[in-house]
Amino acid sequence: MDRLMTLAKSHSDQVELYFLEKSQNSIDFEDAELNDIKSTIQSGITMRIIKDHKLGFSYTKNFHNEKELVENAVDSLKGGVEARFDFPLNKTALTLNTYDSAIEQATNTRIVNECKRIYSFMPQKTNGQVNIGAVTATTKIRIMNSAGTDLLTKMSHYFITVSILYPGSEAGLFRSLAFKSFEKTDDQYLSDLAELYNKGERELEVTGGRMKVLFMPETLYALIWRLQSATNGESLYHQQSPLVDKLGEKIFDEQLTIIDNPLDDTKPHARAYDDEGIACKELSIVDKGVLNNFHYNLYYASKMNTEPTGHGFKTSRWPGDTISMKPSPVLRHLTIRPGGKEFWQLVQDIDRGIIVCGALGAHSGNIPNGDFSIGLAPGLYVEKGEITGRVKDAMISGNIYDVMQRVIDIENRVHAAYTGYYPAVLFGDVNVATKS
């Protein structure tokens, strides 16, 4: 990379190099049968250059043609993308515990045996079809720039997701666990999932209306997406956010505190710096219902005449090739502060309502404005504090700036979920539509 840096500097004013190397093994079981084992290794380099306040970009997975990588970056300057920022000097990044060497002993054979152990346990708890997906991965990231930054991070993770499907459908309940290396799946975790599934085996037709709705941790992303979009520097710059002038104002119920904390290395994927070399920090997004902060990468911070917050990451809402992505402002380490009640206490607090266990169409609706319309796949029906079955053909809709003002209570622990670590959250007076 040093030679590439020297070559690129001769054609530009500033240079940034991003190197990624990732090795991943994934194992999938369907209904107690091994369905697939897949191993992938990818590596590549992304280059950004600044010349005459214009931004150039290129990437490659071919490490033998450095000249072409530089030429492509120079050629992309013709796009005229303005760059009124400098690549940062970062020589004081925190040292986080992001890699567990025990991941090297987490062989495919060991993971397969763990999945088989789960299958020997689950028939004692439920008759539903059980599917399991497990992933082990190691990632190495190096960021260099012409300002003198040279940062290296190595990370490991082990994810496992256990799902139980309802008969004749793809809908079911699931839970995920996330670690920095292999850990045995807790039997209580499996028992709790099976108990919830069993209570929803009966299919019901119920009357819709406004009622209490309990979002499981796995489905809260459908609401959090809207907040991420509204607090994003890109949305603010394009005047697409309803929160433009709302800093310091109450936007949610005071029970909601939402934090992005990349520095929490008790969980996998902690980061001391983002994909632009900016130091990460704990960022309070919402504190007791009050909007505290927006988040920016270098590009949109310069557009908004503010400082980057360390949230420039190569990621997108949909899966893609990381090397080909440009850094955008993203909240990747979110958590909601837990409340004071056990999950089953929240269920008991529902006189009539729905538990959202799966969300269809979470990407639909006016996301920047906070609107949502979600199909339940599945939704469990609760009456007088008891789950009586699962709802057929139902959906919920609303706006997060309305619904999230009406928090009844919050679970007392968080769970690994898409976009972060969340508790279950109970909301009041939410619109539920059914065919009945």
| C-alpha distances in Å from residue 242, one per residue of 4, 260, 365 | 43, 20, 15
Confidence band, pLDDT 50/70/90 cuts, at residue 169: confident
> What's the longest Cα–Cα distance across the chain?
72
> Strand pairing partners for 17?
47, 144
Interatomic CA distance for residues 405 and 132, integer angstroms: 36
pLDDT value, residue 1: 85
| Residue 182: other Cβ atoms inside 10 A | 19
pLDDT value, residue 2: 87
pLDDT value, residue 38: 96
Interatomic CA distance for residues 92 and 127, integer angstroms: 54
pLDDT tens for 238-260 read: 999 999 999 999 999 999 999 99
Hey, what domains does the chain have and what are their CATH numbers?
A: 2-195 (3.30.2290.10), 202-436 (no CATH)
pLDDT tens for 47-70 read: 999 999 999 999 999 888 899 999
Interatomic CA distance for residues 104 and 433, integer angstroms: 49
> What is the rounded average pLDDT for all residues in the chain?
95
- Answer yes or no: is pLDDT of 316 > 80: no
Question: pLDDT > 90: what percent of the chain?
Answer: 90
pLDDT tens for 212-243 read: 999 999 999 999 999 999 999 999 999 999 99
pLDDT value, residue 62: 86
Interatomic CA distance for residues 435 and 430, integer angstroms: 17
CB 86, CB 276: distance < 8 Å: no
| Residue 137: other Cβ atoms inside 10 A | 19
In sequence order, the 6+-apart residues with CB closer than 8 A to the CB of 169 are 377, 378
- HSE-CB of 388 using CA atoms within 13 angstroms: 15
| Across 376-398, average pLDDT | 94
pLDDT value, residue 318: 64
- Answer yes or no: is pLDDT of 298 > 80: yes
CB 268, CB 156: distance < 8 Å: yes
pLDDT value, residue 63: 84
Nearest CA to 215 out of 6, 407, 5, 22 is that of 407
pLDDT tens for 116-143 read: 999 999 989 999 999 999 999 999 999 9
CB 275, CB 143: distance < 8 Å: yes
- 3 state SS for the chain: CHHHHHHHHCCCCEEEEEEEEEEEEEEEEECCEEEEEEEEEEEEEEEEEEECCEEEEEEECCCCCHHHHHHHHHHHHHHCCECCCCCCCCCCCCCCCCCCHHHHHCCHHHHHHHHHHHHHHHHHCCCCEEEEEEEEEEEEEEEEECCCCEEEEEEEEEEEEEEEECCCCCCEEEEEEEECCCCCCCHHHHHHHHHHHHHCCCEECCCCEEEEEEECHHHCHHHHHHHHHHCEHHHHHCCCCCCCCCCCCECCCCCCCEEECCCCCCCCCCCCECCCCCECCCEEEEECCEECCCECCHHHHHHCCCCCCCCEECCCCCCCCHHHCCCEECCCCEEECCCCECHHHHHHCCCEEEEECCEECCCCCCCCCCEEEEEECCEEEEECCEEEEEECCEEEEEEHHHHCCCEEEEECCCEEECCEEECCEEEEEEEEEECC
pLDDT value, residue 364: 79
- Helix pair angle (108-121, 187-199), 10° resolution: 50
| Across 108-115, average pLDDT | 96
- Answer yes or no: is pLDDT of 330 > 80: yes
Q: How far apart are the first and last CA of the chain?
A: 64
Confidence band, pLDDT 50/70/90 cuts, at residue 363: confident
Nearest CA to 197 out of 387, 425, 418 is that of 387
- Answer yes or no: is pLDDT of 95 > 80: yes
- Answer yes or no: is pLDDT of 319 > 70: no
pLDDT value, residue 317: 65
Interatomic CA distance for residues 231 and 291, integer angstroms: 9
Confidence band, pLDDT 50/70/90 cuts, at residue 369: very high
